[in-house]
Amino acid sequence: MPTKKKPTATSRPERRPELLAIAAEVFAAQGYDATTVRRIADEAGMLAGSLYHHFDSKESMVDEILSTFLAGLRTTYDAVLDAGLGPRETLEALVTESFRHIGRNLAAAAIYRTEAAHLATRPGFQYLAEARPVLERALRRTLERGVADGVFRAGLDTRLTGRFVRDAVWGAAAWGPTGATDAPDELARPYLALLLDGLAPRP
């Protein structure tokens, strides 16, 4: 939770990214519905009225936080899928880049994980429901290509496996500073070893 600062009546336009980062931390810690504009302003060390010079509502703040986070995630996945990697390397890259993106944006990822379902029912937030299958589709496409190429075993349930991998990756958003924020690559490596090589001892 951000450390409280003494409120002041001044605000600067260049503070917008900083204010969004503070708002993300507050939303992640308290939940969207329980968070007030006044609380965000208190954490930012400014008057609530000054915050309205940057954002017209807490809704516009969470919208910008989530839409920016998801746009970055989609760009990341598109880059991996367009890189011309083999199926196994693509799967590894999708998982690793997911952990990295979550690690760089842990508060936004936590908000998405906990708030997206009910926010998606509100006007202007339909994109949250549309974003949910993005990673699953990318994973399933990769798994299907791997089965066809003989890289993954025949008969693999690509739909179930894709959902399993997606949910396991998103679960990292709940782990706090002992998870994705410390070393995303170190988190992804054992996960991928378990996913791709299983629990059985190597011959």
81: tokens are 């899928």
Dist CA 9 CA 97 (whole Å): 41
65 neighbors 111 (Cβ within 8 angstroms): yes
Dist CA 145 CA 129 (whole Å): 26
Q: For residue 42, which amino acid is it? A: D
57 neighbors 23 (Cβ within 8 angstroms): no
List domains and CATH numbers for the chain.
1-56 (1.10.10.60), 58-197 (1.10.357.10)
148: tokens are 């066809």
Per residue of the chain (203 residues), what is the pLDDT tens digit? Answer: 444 343 333 445 578 999 999 999 999 999 999 999 999 999 999 999 999 999 999 999 999 999 999 999 999 999 999 999 999 999 999 999 998 999 899 999 999 999 999 999 999 999 998 887 888 899 999 999 999 999 999 999 999 999 999 888 887 656 655 444 457 777 788 888 888 887 556 55
Q: Is the pTM higher than 0.75?
A: yes
* Rg (alpha carbons) of the chain, rounded to whole number: 20
